[in-house]
Structure 1
Amino acid sequence: MLVAAAVCPATPLLVPEVASGAAGELAGLRAACGRALTGLAAARPDRLLVVGPAEPDERGPHAQGAVGSFRPFGVDLTVRLGEPAEGTVAEPAGGARRLPYALAVAAWLLGQRGGWAGPCEGLGVGEPLAPSECLRVGRELAAPPGRLALLVMGDGSACREPGSPRAEDARAVAFDERVAAALAAADVEALAGIDAELAAELQVAGRAPWQVLAGAAADARLTGRLLCQDAPYGVGYFVALWS
């Protein structure tokens, strides 16, 4: 049974070493993520599952302690899923799967608060996954006995303004506002109804993870709270807590 969920941005810019001189611009988002994780812990789940976007070779389950690296972003920093931030973390052995960047960001966030005391695993999902499949995956995740918490990583549209990573699209802001409203209200039907084709056109990285959340929360009757909404670089970022 799903007892709580936190929604956080997937952007590696949450990590100060990656953001470098712009780290201060995301301080509010970082702080909101910390509050969301505190809310997850307060729900006293038996296990935590981190869900985020992933490339084809990174999709599927990732075990507790799996290693992620920010070297692709120019920073010599590695993390382990569910473990404290302190100490030296070895790179994955040859052939071992590395955490998708979104799950690495989640591992960094968890590490900043001392790791996760109980069982913690990851799940990478991909943009081609149809909404109906996302909902099915979510229902299956919430079906086993015990108290489940989800940490859902994902970004909104990436084309909100001329300086965005993608060409500006007039539909982007309205799309993000609908997502923000759904997260604030824990509106499962609204998340389940996100148009996958439109989300892909707007370069939304969170559509599949959010719809997995919708499937998991279908029978949970959770209440929602939007802790932060921002778009400092023309990309929609959200932090929310469902409990």
Structure 2
Amino acid sequence: MLVAAALVPDTALLVPGSGGTVDVAATLRSAALDAVQASVADARSLVVVAPGPRTRELTGRVVATLGAAGIPDGQLAWPPVAFGTGEDARASVAASVGLHLAARCGWHGATRVVEVAPGAGLGELGASLVADGPTGLLVVGSGSGRHGPDGPLADDERAPAYDEALLADLADAGPAARARLTQRPADEAAALAVTGWAPWQVLVGAAGERAVTARLAVQQVVAGAQHAVLSWVVA
């Protein structure tokens, strides 16, 4: 049963030290830590849901690393993080950000890490992930990465309106808003470099038809990408 969810950005900049001496994500980080702490307060287990090249659940000892983003883990201000036992499995950068946040909040409970790609069945996956006991979700993903000129991707004039409507629905979380989230085309999200599309489909499936109280804590465009921190509490 889903009890609460933290919606956090997927930027590596949430982990201090990743941007060198410049810390542009301090406000986002503070809000993200608060949201994650609230998501596990009444949970017996945590599921980290993050975007990935294919849909899979990591097994074994899941190791957080930002190496794929070109950031040496020794550069980070937070200590190394791993959850579980067995053979090492390296989490994606997005999932690693979630794991770092969970560890920083002092979470040591049962933890699953699921990376998801756009496709069918993500709502059903979300429902299955919260089927056993009180569960918190840590949902990692961001809005459009095409807010130029500060980002690496070309500016797209559709990005501001898209993200405004998206954040309104995520902050509403009522039945109509959740329906709109599931109806947003995956190809449009891909064209606008929206990384949260697949994780949010999982979130909506996990919430089911239950009432949700949502709160938008902060939103910020960093390096051309729309990032936000929200909380969902399920009745």
Q: TM-score range, shorter-chain basis?
A: 0.7 to 0.9
Alignment size in residue pairs: 224
Contact 1:36 1:241 in 2 (8 A): yes
Counterpart CA distance in 2 for 1:2 and 1:53 is 20
Residue 207 (1) aligns with residue 205 (2): no
State the 1:71 CA deviation: 2.6
Contact 2:6 2:137 in 1 (8 A): yes
Counterpart CA distance in 1 for 2:18 and 2:84 is 20
State the 1:60 CA deviation: 1.1
Choose which of 99, 104, 116 in structure 2 pairs with 1:112.
104
Q: CA RMSD in A?
A: 2.0
Contact 1:184 1:226 in 2 (8 A): yes
Distance 1:64 1:117, change over 3 A: farther
Give the letter aligned to residue 216 of structure 1. Answer: A
Contact 1:192 1:215 in 2 (8 A): no
State the 1:82 CA deviation: 7.7
Contact 2:142 2:225 in 1 (8 A): yes
SS of the aligned residue for 1:238 comes to strand
Distance 1:64 1:225, change over 3 A: farther
Counterpart CA distance in 2 for 1:61 and 1:41 is 20
Unaligned runs of 5+ in 2: 75-79
In structure 1, the partner of 2:215 is 225
Counterpart CA distance in 2 for 1:27 and 1:68 is 20
Where do 4+ consecutive residues of structure 1 move more than 3 Å? none
In structure 2, the partner of 1:155 is 142
Give runs of aligned pairs for residues 31-180 of structure 1, distance below 5 A. Answer: 31-42=30-41, 44-56=42-54, 59-63=55-59, 65-72=61-68, 73-77=70-74, 78-81=80-83, 96-114=88-106, 116-127=107-118, 129-130=119-120, 133-142=121-130, 144-180=131-167
Counterpart CA distance in 2 for 1:62 and 1:159 is 30
Counterpart CA distance in 2 for 1:48 and 1:163 is 35
State the 1:65 CA deviation: 4.1
For normalisation by structure 2, the TM-score amounts to 0.88
Choose which of 150, 169, 172 in structure 2 pairs with 1:185.
172
For normalisation by structure 1, the TM-score amounts to 0.85
Contact 1:231 1:237 in 2 (8 A): yes
Percent identity (aligned): 36
Counterpart CA distance in 1 for 2:212 and 2:3 is 8
Distance 1:197 1:105, change over 3 A: same
Contact 2:40 2:46 in 1 (8 A): no
Contact 2:127 2:206 in 1 (8 A): yes
More strand by share: 2
Give the letter aligned to residue 55 of structure 1. Answer: P
Give the letter aligned to residue 16 of structure 2. Answer: P
Q: What's the CA shift string for 1:199-242, capped at 9, x where partnerless?
A: 01001111000111011112221110001111021101010000
Give the letter aligned to residue 173 of structure 1. Answer: P
Distance 1:220 1:149, change over 3 A: farther
Contact 1:82 1:110 in 2 (8 A): no
Contact 2:12 2:18 in 1 (8 A): yes
